[in-house]
Structure 1
Amino acid sequence: MPRRPAGRLPLLLTSLLCVPVSAAVLRVGPDEALQHIADAARLARDGDTVEIAPGRYPGDVAVWTQQRLTIRGLDDGPVLDAAGQSAEGKAIWVVRGGHILIDNITFRGARVPHLNGAGIRFEHGHLRVTNSRFIDNENGILTSNDPEARLHVENSVFAQAPRHPGALHHLLYVGRIAEFTLRGSRVEGGYQAHLVKSRARRHRIEYNLLVDGPTGEAAYELEFPEGGRARVVGNIIGQSANTSNPALISFGAEGYRNDDNRLSLCHNTLISAPRIGARFLSVWQHAATPSPEVMACNNLLVGPAAFAQGNPGEFVGNLSLPAIRPDGALDFRLPANSLLRGAVRAAMPWHGADLRPRHEFVLPYGTRPLSPPRRWAPGAIQSPRP
């Protein structure tokens, strides 16, 4: 009998094991073999794509545990109405996988008995959410405290916090994770709690519209209760006259848990309603920990609120206006002939980071690229208003 060449079988088995299995596309919809999202969550394998047809999916809650997965709504996107249901008593969707992308999905009406239900409960891995909408949920997105988790939210909407007296429903609440990015998104309509609250070690808040609106009653618009390293650039942040808290942005209210605590706040448009004690920024100092580093530059301050007063750090090129538009329209551009154009210099690098905005927020949500202007103006929007 001929002898098999030495090493041939192990090599063949190794090569077979390394051949990738073709990823599948699972389609969910009333005219598809899979009519329930929960079935797709159970059947999907690593590397697959789940496509969900537009329409309403009441009570179709799910848990996602895959290591690599894309979940995408088609056309106008599906609406996931909780309809009194929740996955594991937590959320419409629970995500605790690896690298997960969720695109073009609407999450609506999350409710649970302990009043902490979420559109998405993110527990582990790296989650990217794009072009999605979170409406009337007790929390839009709520994360765990996994120190290795990363959350990236882009071009999405969070709105209409439930009005439950005594309950705190943050539209977006990030726990003690490694990294959180919010970009090109619109957050509005809070009630007693905050629009955005993050305990992450690193935060990137860029080119968003965080404006509570005339009927909103949020407390802080943006809060970092435990400090960390926060980059806040190119945002429009506005507080309602009905707020329960006079400050727009808060940093370190509960102390500093991280070794690196620094806030860069540059080229934002900050809008405060007239009220006693109003503050654009509160940077908290605690006797047991060193003061954080703060760089605040080229912000446009709209309304009679305090900014640098009582806050540690460096404040450069922050200029004030009594108002932008008397009609309250969401048009935050300065006129082309505004005297504020050319009134500030380009932001200098800070700790090696470029603080100049590279994009601008555009309505209804999203961003557009921004070429460096010849004359910089303070604020988030460089494009002129006719």
Structure 2
Amino acid sequence: MSWQLCATAALALAAIGSPLSADNLPPAPTELGTIRRNEQGQLEVVRPPAASPAAVSSPVETPVAKRAGGQRAAADGQPAVAGSGRTIVVGEREAVRSISEAARLARDGDTIEIRAGEYRRQAVVWTQDRLTIRGVGRRPVLIADGDSAEGKALWVVRSAQMTIDNLEFRGARVAAGNGAGIRFESGHLKVVRCAFFDNEMGILTSNAADAVLEVENSEFGAAPRHAGALHHLLYAGTIARLRVSGSRFQQGYLGHLIKSRARESSILYNLLVDGVGGSASYELEFPNGGIAWVIGNIIGQSATTDNPVVVSYGAEGERWPDNALYLAHNTLVDDTPGGRFLQVWSERLPAATEVWAINNLLVGRGIFVPQGPGRHDGNHVVATGTLAVADDLPFALPQASPLRGRAQTPGFVRGQSLTPTAEFRLPAKTLPLLPGKPLSPGALQ
């Protein structure tokens, strides 16, 4: 007989002629110990004070909450305390079937594992600290289906530290027209291996001055085409730092693929190519300047772009006391006559604002000229049809190209190297480069 049946029978016998305990559960029979409800509403058997170890069964591990690594609830047989690193499992066949219920149960330091499947109308505000939420197996899909948290997003993150891994967010819509897959409001958020499609905003942040957002190996695309606010795929407000690496952005509509007002932005080894049918405005924009590191990206406009500029810096004027743009080893694609690979709005920025453009590969008929003080070395223009396919990416120099292996080391600035250490790979990840390999201009080595 299972422990659940034993416990149920024991509870029924004890309830006859026995008063209810303070937590509305009848006392458990002595042969089983004390039966209590844990924080997840599940029954647990714990050791009675006078019992010997041989007379007590092992603590009951429920499918709702377990220690990370599959450990029991607690070594001494007591229920795990809040924030003890439990794992809450969500799925159609699990004790917790909804993400919103998992959010109610979660405490600081917990991990939430979400089984594969579709989860509709699971809008949540997350406030727990040191929380990890990850999809298990095939990427679970969260579909807004008209739902939103606080009229802002599918998920609102208001947490000191949080990681979201292997989840897909779709269909966010709100009255203001800026419904996000994730609205990040405070703390330090790391997004890994996630996808954002058909949202009015993929990720939208607040303007919290100390907030930090990191995005790795993720996908953004399919901006909606209804009227209203501009639909940026990723929009960082005036936060402390934004870092995006190994990620793919495509099929924008009127808004930008990435827009960052952050004090410091690092855009590293991404594929920002709008693609067939895309009509984004800027592919990459830093409207208020700041320190921007743009290294090893493939950035390209579509033929139906809404704006002839690929990368824009400083269009809305100065906000931060320190401003500089470092553009190294990128492949910039723009075949629009009169288009601009880079537009720096120097007249709206401090006169000393540096712009470094080093070892970039310029593909097409766009314009690329030095803008502002700084270094402008090793940038080469090639025709659109001269590139080759490498690892399914049609943006590589042919092996016979005289430019291969001819780039000079880009050097250091502000104590950081501008030499690429990785390159983008489909569908959304990075591959480390071999140290010491001769460099070529552009993102693909």
> What TM-score results when the alignment is normalised by the length of structure 2?
0.79
Which runs of no fewer than 5 residues in structure 2 stay unpaired?
1-80
Q: 1:379 — aligned with what? A: 442
When residues 207 and 165 of structure 1 are mapped into structure 2, their CA distance, relative to the original with a 3 A threshold, is same
CA-CA distance at 1:291 after TM superposition: 4.2
Q: 1:9 — aligned with what? A: none
Q: 1:56 — aligned with what? A: 118
* Per-residue CA distance 1:32-89 (angstroms, 9 max, x = gap): 1111101111110111000001100111111110111000001012100000100110
Q: 1:330 — aligned with what? A: 393
Read off the aligned partner of 1:126 and give its amino acid letter: H
* Per-residue CA distance 1:115-168 (angstroms, 9 max, x = gap): 110000000000000000000000000000000000000000000000023531
Contact 1:317-1:344 at 8 Å conserved across structures: yes
Write out aligned runs for 1:355-366 (5 A). Answer: 355-366=418-429
Q: 2:335 — aligned with what? A: 273
CA-CA distance at 1:374 after TM superposition: 3.9
1:257 paired residue among 304, 310, 319: 319
Pairing 1:369–2:406 present: no
Contact 1:325-1:331 at 8 Å conserved across structures: no
When residues 145 and 299 of structure 1 are mapped into structure 2, their CA distance, relative to the original with a 3 A threshold, is same
Q: 1:6 — aligned with what? A: none
Contact 2:310-2:334 at 8 Å conserved across structures: yes
Greater Rg over alpha carbons, structure: 2
Distance across 2 between alignment mates of 1:295 and 1:53: 46
Q: 2:138 — aligned with what? A: 76
Q: 2:355 — aligned with what? A: 294
Read off the aligned partner of 2:417 and give its amino acid letter: D
Q: 2:403 — aligned with what? A: 340
Provide the aligned length of Structure 1 versus Structure 2: 363
Distance across 2 between alignment mates of 1:197 and 1:47: 31
Write out aligned runs for 1:1-386 (5 A). Answer: 22-275=84-337, 277-286=338-347, 289-324=350-385, 330-382=393-445
When residues 334 and 287 of structure 1 are mapped into structure 2, their CA distance, relative to the original with a 3 A threshold, is closer
What SS does structure 2 have at the residue aligned with 1:286?
helix
Contact 1:282-1:311 at 8 Å conserved across structures: no
Identity of aligned residues (%): 55
More relative contact order, 1 or 2 (CA 8 Å, 6+ apart)? 1
Contact 1:283-1:312 at 8 Å conserved across structures: no
Contact 1:324-1:334 at 8 Å conserved across structures: no
When residues 303 and 311 of structure 1 are mapped into structure 2, their CA distance, relative to the original with a 3 A threshold, is farther
Distance across 1 between alignment mates of 2:172 and 2:244: 21
Read off the aligned partner of 2:281 and give its amino acid letter: A
Contact 2:246-2:268 at 8 Å conserved across structures: yes
CA-CA distance at 1:98 after TM superposition: 1.1
Which runs of no fewer than 5 residues in structure 1 stay unpaired?
1-18
Between 349-358 and 326-335, the greater mean CA deviation after superposition: 326-335
Contact 1:325-1:332 at 8 Å conserved across structures: no
Distance across 1 between alignment mates of 2:96 and 2:271: 37
CA-CA distance at 1:330 after TM superposition: 3.2
CA-CA distance at 1:21 after TM superposition: 5.8
Distance across 1 between alignment mates of 2:386 and 2:275: 14
Q: 1:13 — aligned with what? A: none
CA-CA distance at 1:259 after TM superposition: 0.9
- Let me know the Cα RMSD of the aligned residues: 1.7
When residues 251 and 35 of structure 1 are mapped into structure 2, their CA distance, relative to the original with a 3 A threshold, is same
Between 336-345 and 92-101, the greater mean CA deviation after superposition: 336-345
Contact 1:58-1:81 at 8 Å conserved across structures: yes
Distance across 2 between alignment mates of 1:289 and 1:222: 21
Contact 2:354-2:372 at 8 Å conserved across structures: no
CA-CA distance at 1:351 after TM superposition: 2.2
